[in-house]
């Protein structure tokens, strides 16, 4: 019987290795898999390349992973947000690398990684500093930039409901990067607010088909990042 | 310094001008900050559908206090609501809407706009600044019509409408129209054309406050 | 008030012009918008380029459009199926053009057309006759073929439910090319089994957001292509 | 002509051999025709998830008579069912599964297989044939493991396993293993290796029926 359910976040992140590339879902705190990230901090893998839209806030979740010096390089579109101090400090000190990618190009590079498309052309960033050093090409009178797919060894994703096959549905704008990150990783690891029986998620409304997911763990009461930031908490507690 | 005796338009008036220029039924993406004001001035006989690039079409107004959902937010990471007839989708689909020219109008702020429509609004290029671009480059590359809403000059009185941008570009030749406190200016192949002057603003005064040549229709 | 609802299939296909490129959803009969196709036959537009996975069967729907000499060129992956005789006969006589595209490449070219991606690289068809004359390129030791986006003037699509904003959901494997074809056309025209009030389709389960759809018409009892073929019917009746 | 006194495997036995070589939990795409038989021989302690490229993961067996739904079909356009835990999706997402190397095994028929793993299974290249490729080229380019199931020779006794394909290719160097009525043959960098001989089949007999050099492990 296919059963992708893991008993704990700690078990779900087993095998993540030093130097791995990891995609982390979320747009700000919405969709950020905070329990998986904390389990990854406990697990100890370092020298990581993280692909995520932001760099976390306060001293929990992704910001804590960075603060604990596990991250060599960030690939993201918007590394500074409200209450985001950890990344900017390390970046100014030259202690962390940044590859800045326009948000839509980031999404399409991830989607391409999952879809077996090694490269594509986009009008985004043409003529700007973010296109410097990149191939450009004209199609039908418009100039485009060639961009390469991104793939990851692991993805850490948060969703609303999952079943033992790895089928997922999400909650509102917490969906964001989750579905495409599941497709682009060798091993997609997902925390779900609830695990349900196969068939309870109508086949018509599945957002991430189980084929894209390797591990699922139920985290029924996930922490709220903004609440922890407000309380001034730091991970590890 | 800006001459305080010169009136011009208020921020709300600027936003209202933008709203009046958007057609009924338009799909609209509003940038963070002053562009968000546009939603307060939609004429009663028009319906706009708001897109937010983090995965919602049919964004409604801010929720009542106590009804905020941290998983229902806009691109500025502020709580919002969803109208009846909204839809949620992932980021690749969201930028299909943007890059694929499905969104009619995007209203953005600006650091600088050049006379050829070049826009700079994401970075001052200072060596110690943390660069952050978000979806701005995708929006200007993909949305059909780009409106810029901005004060005509910086607080220090420096030109924002210039011959050539000195800040790093967000996109080349992308701006269609500029709404400032002093005027509404069309960006055309042949240059900048003043569509409307603010209250008490003369063309000559406007030209003085502008770092590029202005034309009259 | 935004209202994309049209009163009849005839009204919904108004304005389709001679020489237009039209995408037609469906995989065999599943998802084929037969009433819209028949309305198009009545409407009279000719010299069309049709993008569709197959070429229809019997003498109704897409096969009837072809039989009535409205189609200059087919872009498809599988032009012969059971009961498909119209296209093969015209093709052998040299009276219709064919651009044969692998099914996944067809899907990705359409998806790219809708997503503002002018071209991409795919491993599919490398080293085969279908890659002849196409640019090839190596990425990470594997060879790929460059493929261009396809866009259309119109798409004709069948779905299950729609609302006045153009939000759509589909039925089972009749979904197939519908969602991507809506994104890739200037004007996507959709026949729905039912039109519902905005909000009746949960925002979480919308498959095609309304932004991709221009016209919707309710066809509550669509004809079944296989039934018509069995009965030996021909359109126009 | 095929010597009728030589026994070899039946179609069902061939399909069973394929099924035994697929791991528990595998995502599997079965081509039209003989490959479909594989689903009848899944060992009791294994669960395969079937993908059909027209937009269904978790395809179940054919429905009972009278319960067919023309909108629930497989790639061969035959009525099927969906298991509990299935999902429907559009064509671009379906081929993300294929091209993105998410599907573990594809079982396909063949017109010809070359000793280097080249596969021809979509066209005889005859001038008046209607070419039709469907998803075959995407499957062989994207699926991790490609198994071919086919009679060892054509009805006319012509070689199907050859030094070089003469028919138009479906893909280059894509086949991993060939299951015929006479043998199971691995396609390796160094050439074709006989993994198993059918009942009553000798290596010499097999070589006679094969248009490329066979190797013994």
Does residue B2 have a pLDDT over 80?
A: no
- Give chain D's contact residues with A (Cβ, < 8 Å): 24-25, 27, 47, 49, 51, 56-58, 82-89, 92-93, 95-103, 141-142
pLDDT above 50 for D68: yes
C144 touching D (Cβ < 8 Å): no
Residue D53 catalytic?
yes
Confidence grade of residue D129 (pLDDT, cut at 50, 70, 90):
confident
Instruction: Using alpha carbons, select from A35, A5, A56, A11 the residue that is nearest to residue A161.
Output: A5
pLDDT at site B126: 87
Instruction: Give SS3 for B48.
Output: coil
Task: Let me know the angle formed at the C-alpha of B101 by B99 and B104, rounded to the nearest 5 degrees.
Answer: 125
Helix (H, G, I), strand (E, B) or coil at C73: strand
Note the pLDDT tens digit of each residue in D17-50: 999 999 999 999 999 999 999 999 999 999 999 9
Q: Which residues of A69-104 are buried (b: 16+ CB within 10 A; e: fewer)?
A: ebbeebbbbbbbbebbebbbebbeeeebebebbbbb
Name the residue with higher pLDDT: C1 or D172: D172
Residue C189 lies in a domain: yes
Which residues partner with C144 through β-bridges? C137
State chain D's mean pLDDT as an integer: 95
**Partner-chain contact B133 A103, CB within 8 Å:** yes
Q: Is the dihedral of CA C89, C94, C99, C101 positive or negative?
A: positive
A116 reaches D (C-beta below 8 A): yes
Q: Which residue of B has its CA nearest to A53?
A: B134
Closest-approach residue (CA) in chain C for B81:
C203
What's chain C's Rg over C-alpha atoms? 18
pLDDT of residue A116: 98
Nearest 5°: CA angle at B82, between B48 and C217? 60
What residues make up the domain containing A75? 5-118+149-230
pLDDT mean over B99-119: 98
Pairing of strands B183-188, D191-197: unpaired
CB contact under 8 A, A211 and D83: no
Contact yes or no for A204 and C121 at CB 8 A: no
Which residues on chain B are in Cβ contact (under 8 Å) with C116?
96, 98-101, 141-142
* DSSP β-bridge partners for residue D2: none
Q: Which of B36, B53, B115, B164 is catalytic?
A: B53
DSSP codes, C20-51:
-EEEE--BTTBT--HHHHHHHHHH---SEEEE
Inter-chain touch C2–B25, beta carbons under 8 Å: yes
Q: How far apart are CA D173 and CA D170, in angstroms?
A: 10
pLDDT exceeds cutoff 50 at C150: yes
Strands (E), C97-206: 97-100, 119-122, 136-139, 142-148, 152-162, 168-169, 185-195
Q: What are the φ and ψ backbone dihedral angles of A141, each rounded to 5 degrees?
A: 85, 0
Question: In this structure, how many other beta carbons lie within 10 angstroms of the beta carbon of residue A45?
Answer: 18
Which residues of chain C neighbour B95 with C-beta distances below 8 Å?
Answer: 115
Please pick, among D47, D53, D158, D196, the residue that the annotation labels catalytic: D53
Residue D3 predicted with pLDDT over 70: no
Q: What is residue D168's predicted lDDT score, i.e. its pLDDT? A: 97
- Please report whether residue C131 resides in a domain: no
Which of B88, B95, B132 is opposite residue A80, by nearest beta carbon? B132
- Rounded to the nearest 10 degrees, the angle between the axes of helix A103-115 and helix B91-99 is 120
Asked whether the beta carbons of residue B89 and residue C206 sit closer than 8 angstroms, the reply is yes
Tokens of D54: 């027209």
Beta-strand ranges (E) seen in D37-121 are: 49-52, 56-60, 81-88, 105-108, 112-114, 119-120
Report the pLDDT value the prediction gives residue D1, as an integer from 0 to 100.
46
Q: In total, how many domains does chain C have?
A: 1
Q: What is the pLDDT of residue C82?
A: 77
Q: Which residues contact D96 (CB under 8 A, 6 or more apart)?
A: A111, A114, A115, A116, A183, D102
The partner residue sitting opposite A120, judged by closest CB among C120, C172, C203, is C120
Distance in angstroms (rounded) separating the CA atoms of residues D83 and D53: 16
The band of B1, judged by pLDDT with boundaries at 50, 70 and 90, is very low
DSSP state of A172: G
pLDDT of residue D5: 63
ipTM value for the complex: 0.97
Closest CA to D184 of D173, D175, D174, D197: D197
CATH number at residue C31: 3.40.1080.10
- Interchain CB distance below 8 Å, C80 and D82: no
Cβ-defined contact of C102 to D138 (cutoff 8 Å): yes
Q: Compute φ and ψ for B130, nearest 5 degrees.
A: -90, 115
The first and second tokens of residue C237, run together, are: 């009746």
Long-range CB contacts for residues A223-227, cutoff 8 Å, separation at least 24: A223/A34, A223/A35, A223/A60, A224/A29, A224/B70, A225/A28, A225/A29, A225/A32, A225/A34, A225/A56, A225/A57, A225/A58, A225/A60, A225/A61, A225/B70, A226/A29, A226/A57, A226/B70
Say if C119 is an interface residue toward chain B (CB within 8 Å). no
Closest CA to A29 of A235, A230, A234, A224: A224
Question: According to the model, what pLDDT value does residue A62 have?
Answer: 98
The pTM of the whole model exceeds 0.90: yes
Please give the CATH topology (third level) of the domain spanning D11-216. Answer: Glutaconate Coenzyme A-transferase (3.40.1080)
**Ranges of chain A with pLDDT below 50:** none
Q: Domain boundaries in chain D?
A: 11-216
End-to-end CA distance of chain C: give it in Å, rounded. 38
Given this model, what pLDDT does residue B5 score? 63
User: For B5-14, C61-70, C71-80, which range has the lowest pLDDT when averaged over its residues?
Assistant: B5-14
Whether pLDDT at B53 is above 80: yes
Q: How confident is the model at residue C171 (pLDDT cuts 50, 70, 90)?
A: very high
């Amino acid at each position: 019987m296919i059963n992708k359910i893991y008993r704990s976040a700690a078990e779900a992140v087993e095998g993540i290795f030093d130097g791995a590339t990891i995609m982390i879902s979320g747009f700000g705190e919405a969709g950020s898999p905070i329990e998986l990230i904390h389990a990854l901090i406990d697990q100890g893998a370092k020298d990581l390349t993280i692909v995520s839209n932001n760099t976390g806030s306060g001293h929990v979740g992704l910001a804590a992973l960075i603060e604990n010096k596990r991250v060599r390089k960030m690939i993201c579109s918007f590394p500074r947000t409200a209450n985001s101090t950890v990344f900017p400090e390390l970046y100014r000190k030259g202690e962390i690398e940044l590859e800045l990618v326009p948000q839509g190009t980031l999404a399409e590079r991830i989607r391409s990684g999952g879809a077996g498309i090694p490269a594509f052309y986009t009008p985004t960033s043409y003529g700007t500093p973010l296109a410097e050093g990149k191939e450009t090409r004209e199609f039908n009178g418009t100039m485009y930039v060639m961009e390469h797919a991104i793939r990851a060894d692991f993805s850490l994703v948060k969703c609303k409901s999952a079943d033992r096959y790895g089928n997922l549905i999400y909650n509102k704008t917490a969906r964001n990067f989750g579905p495409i990150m599941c497709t682009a990783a060798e091993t997609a690891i997902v925390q779900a607010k609830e695990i349900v029986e196969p068939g309870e998620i109508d086949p018509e409304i599945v957002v991430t088909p189980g084929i894209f997911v390797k591990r699922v763990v139920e985290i029924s009461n996930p922490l709220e990042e903004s609440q922890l930031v407000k309380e001034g908490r730091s991970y590890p507690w | 310094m800006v001459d305080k005796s010169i009136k011009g338009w208020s921020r709300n008036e600027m936003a209202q001008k933008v709203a009046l220029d958007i057609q009924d039924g338009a799909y609209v993406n509003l940038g963070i900050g002053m562009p968000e004001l546009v939603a307060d001035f939609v004429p009663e006989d028009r319906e706009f559908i708001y897109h937010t690039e983090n995965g919602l079409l049919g964004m409604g107004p801010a929720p009542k206090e106590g009804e905020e959902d941290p998983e229902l937010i806009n691109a500025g990471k502020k709580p919002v609501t969803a109208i009846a007839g909204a839809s949620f989708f992932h980021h690749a689909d969201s930028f299909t809407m943007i890059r694929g020219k499905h969104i009619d109008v995007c209203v953005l702020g600006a650091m600088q706009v050049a006379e050829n429509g070049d826009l700079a609004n994401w970075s001052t290029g200072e060596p110690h600044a943390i660069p952050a671009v978000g979806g701005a480059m995708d929006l200007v590359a993909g949305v059909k019509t780009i409106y810029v809403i901005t004060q005509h000059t910086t607080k220090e009185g420096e030109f924002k409408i210039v011959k050539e941008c000195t800040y790093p570009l967000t996109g080349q030749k992308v701006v269609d129209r500029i709404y400032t406190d002093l005027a509404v200016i069309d960006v055309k192949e042949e240059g900048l054309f003043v569509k409307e002057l603010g209250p008490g603003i003369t063309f000559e005064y406007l030209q003085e406050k502008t770092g590029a040549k202005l034309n009259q229709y």
